Amino acid sequence: MHNSIYIGVIGAGICPDRTYDLARDVGFEIGKNGWTLVCGGLEGVMEGAAKGCTEAGGMTIGILPGLDRDTANPYIRVPIPTGLGDGRNLLVVRASDILVAIAGGHGTLSEIALALKTEKPVIGLETWNDINGVLYASDFRDAIQKIEEILDKKPKSKG
Amino acid sequence: MHNSIYIGVIGAGICPDRTYDLARDVGFEIGKNGWTLVCGGLEGVMEGAAKGCTEAGGMTIGILPGLDRDTANPYIRVPIPTGLGDGRNLLVVRASDILVAIAGGHGTLSEIALALKTEKPVIGLETWNDINGVLYASDFRDAIQKIEEILDKKPKSKG
Amino acid sequence: MHNSIYIGVIGAGICPDRTYDLARDVGFEIGKNGWTLVCGGLEGVMEGAAKGCTEAGGMTIGILPGLDRDTANPYIRVPIPTGLGDGRNLLVVRASDILVAIAGGHGTLSEIALALKTEKPVIGLETWNDINGVLYASDFRDAIQKIEEILDKKPKSKG
Amino acid sequence: MHNSIYIGVIGAGICPDRTYDLARDVGFEIGKNGWTLVCGGLEGVMEGAAKGCTEAGGMTIGILPGLDRDTANPYIRVPIPTGLGDGRNLLVVRASDILVAIAGGHGTLSEIALALKTEKPVIGLETWNDINGVLYASDFRDAIQKIEEILDKKPKSKG
């Protein structure tokens, strides 16, 4: 029943409009492909991605740092309050098959690093440079293509 | 978008058919009422509740102890692997507004206690006796009625 | 270097003097035996046990719910702030070989249940009644004797 | 009683001798200054630092990823098994006042990022380059001097 691919989108809670729109483009493609979006549930990049995914009819999960479901942005279909603060970053990583990092600060960097530590693919868009292991993409289309390439190589039973 | 009530159903991963059916009855009512089911995602009581909720067209979330999404029972719409082992019990509690404990062993008891510790209502069905704070129900209809009574007393904005 | 036995003492952060003194008696015996005390680091039973253990020259660890080391009681030699709230209860259990529950409320009950779930021995002193699996002791001497009996049965390499 | 400064030393579990020795030099200074060493408790940089700190008579805490205390290196005075896997990285950060990153891979990078996210000072020694916020040191003496400068600026009551 839940045989979807889960794509985590990670990025800052505050971002310029340009970055928000980039996240929305990525989210839209995630929804269009029938993948599930996982994110931290708050504003900025997380909201942009969730908005795009929702617009494409996709499912959105927000794993929240606090205890209050109402802190989720309005495009989160399933909010999961954790009360773990930055500890929820690890849960975003663990719930995702592949991650897309969009811009971001130290929180995003921690998620990139935790994902790579557990050998999950991380695709980077205008984010921290020169992190070995990150697959850097030139734009949202390139990012989606990289996801598809990874999925093509995976055994079909996965996800 | 996510303005649903979240009802956690807690109970053992192995249980007699009778208990499974009781969980299914509770789950069905949860789905019928438009509430979201939260559970630990595995078999036994968790599966019975998720099956019932799904049969009523409801949303089901499974917060899993391990790292593998495929350990979720087939009626979980949104599986969240955590890798926290018994640590996921706290997350089941934190993601729920109200909990229903059905039978269960020490894991269930830990969830009952964690919920009461954070002042979340716990309704008990054929579960650990004489835990002060638990609202004991005589059957699944009584359990659902107790949920409705709690919700009637809550401010409308909650959940 | 760390080949000590770790005894967790669990109980409420507010308690009557009588219970505090009982915890202190238990803690003193823990220190006298060269065991290490693990607790939640706050006041009440946790402080009583840490005070007793310190008076006997023992080592005391406090695994704190918040982020501030200064919330530890003055008898904690090693405070570990976690920021996990009630999530730290599981860490108290995981850091302990054997637990002693003294009186206590729902938080203590969650620790009793989590310990039993992971098959760690729990000795009960004036605490939640009729929890199957708990080894109920009549007084602090009986509690310590029960610990010794458990240790005698364990392979020597453990702990 | 616990009014020590806690210095976290983070780095990989496997490292060249040269890096081990560098960690040992840092650890020795930590112990000599009466600070408490916090680390992940395993081998490599964590062991080097713990060995040095022990040789200087200092206290060493190891916050372990697994459930088994015996996975701690022999220079850990207080091992804390967590069973959280990489989730323990956040606990290393939360237990520390200041962190020193020595070389390291993605796990270390996640700790650097989590520390900076929560505005804890991070001193870098032969580690990930160009992470904004990291105070890069040229050798172990420079690292210790940077710690002292940070402590001099702190209010005396802290730690």
For chain A, say whether B75 makes contact (Cβ under 8 Å). Answer: yes
Segments of B49-121 assigned E as strands: 59-64, 78-81, 98-102
**Positive or negative, the Cα torsion across C17, C23, C26, C32?**
negative
Q: What is the pLDDT of residue C140?
A: 98
For chain A, say whether C74 makes contact (Cβ under 8 Å). Answer: no
Structure tokens at C152: 């005698």
For chain D, say whether C72 makes contact (Cβ under 8 Å). Answer: yes
d(CA C107, CA B72): 28
Sort strands A122-125 and B122-125 into parallel, antiparallel or unpaired: unpaired
Residues D7-19 have a mean pLDDT of: 98
Q: What is the pLDDT of residue B158?
A: 44
D86 half-sphere exposure, CB direction, 13 A CA radius: 29
Chain B residues in contact with C114 (beta carbon < 8 A)? 86, 89, 106, 110
Q: What is the pLDDT of residue C108?
A: 98
Q: What is the pLDDT of residue A159?
A: 40
ipTM of the complex: 0.94
CA-nearest residue to B87 within chain D is D84
How close C142 comes to chain D (CA, Å)? 27
pLDDT < 70: residue spans in chain C: 1-3, 155-159
pLDDT < 70: residue spans in chain B: 1-3, 155-159
d(CA D6, CA D39): 10
Are B102 and B125 a contacting pair, CB within 8 Å?
yes
How close D101 comes to chain A (CA, Å)? 14
Q: What is the pLDDT of residue A156?
A: 54
Contacting residues for C24 by C-beta, under 8 A, at least 6 apart: C48, C49, C51, C52, C55
Q: What is the pLDDT of residue D2?
A: 57
Contact B107 C113 (CB under 8 A): yes
Residue-level pLDDT, tens digit, chain A, 159 residues: 556 999 999 999 999 999 999 999 999 999 999 999 999 999 999 999 999 999 999 999 999 999 999 999 999 999 999 999 999 999 999 999 999 999 999 999 999 999 999 999 999 999 999 999 999 999 999 999 999 999 998 765 444
For chain C, say whether D94 makes contact (Cβ under 8 Å). Answer: yes
d(CA A20, CA A15): 6
d(CA D157, CA D131): 30
d(CA A44, CA C5): 49
Chain A residues in contact with C85 (beta carbon < 8 A)? 83
